[in-house]
Amino acid sequence: MSGPTHGRYAGIGMTSARTRDRLIQRLQEQGIRNLAVLDRIRNVPRHIFVDEALASRAYEDTALPIGHSQTISQPYIVARMTEALIEGDRKIGKVLEVGTGCGYQTAVLAPLVKKVYSIERIGPLHKRAKATLKELGVKNVMLKHGDGFEGWKSQKPFDGILVAAAPLSVPDALFAQLANKGRLIVPVGPEGAQQLIRFTRRDDHIDREVLGPVAFVPMLGGLT
């Protein structure tokens, strides 16, 4: 049998349902309320996205290494960003994600929106994410090996933009590709002093809300 509730995806021991339930409880205690988001965190097999040697730690609420000096995002942060993006009654259409990494955030987000367009600048991570998301049967995503500073012009405008690496200031291209009423969730600032910000476009002006301090890898230009 295959599928998210069977075999390798279901998990055993430190990757079992009981371990995952403890993570969900912890996220609720920290203020995550959106049930659809909590359900995704419970059901996406995070242990499939990390090296086998780290599988036993996959349901701890921490970032873990995925190679190339990058990390899989902390579950709390993935939940917080996803919640901030989809909040409200309106079903979100197209979402641009900058920083695919291993594809974990992409997998959590995909069924909650119409389509995810995700960009990663590191070639091998892009390739691996593509294979993992295919294996998990996540269909409404398009992945690109590219530079997120440029956004994804041919697919604009986006109802949501979610950035998983921290720029020093928000790239103009991202504001330019945000639809009216669209939301941009982005960590901004230098290492040690980043804030997670939610920008919302309202006709000709952009609202800015500070969601709190965070620690992301820096957003870097160019491809590798």
Give CA–CA dist 44/152, Å, rounded.
26
- Nearest-approach distance from CB 128 to ligand SAH, in angstroms: 10
73 classed as catalytic: yes
- CB nearer to ligand SAH: pick between 14 and 220: 220
- Nearest-approach distance from CB 7 to ligand SAH, in angstroms: 23
8 Å CB contact between 87 and 34: yes
The stretch near ligand SAH (CB under 6 A) out of 30-38, 64-72, 134-142, 178-186 is 64-72
Regarding 220 and contact with ligand SAH (CB under 6 A), the answer is yes
Regarding 173 and contact with ligand SAH (CB under 6 A), the answer is no
3 sits in the region (left: phi over 0; alpha: psi -120 to 50; else beta) called left
Q: What are phi and psi of 33, to 5 degrees?
A: -115, -25
- CB nearer to ligand SAH: pick between 135 and 207: 135
- Closest C-alpha to 89, from 27, 43, 34, 141: 34
x-or-dash string of contact with ligand SAH, 83-122, rule CB under 6 A: ---------------xx-xx-xx-------------xxxx
List the end-to-end C-alpha distance of the chain, in Å, as a whole number.
38
- Residues serving a catalytic function are 73
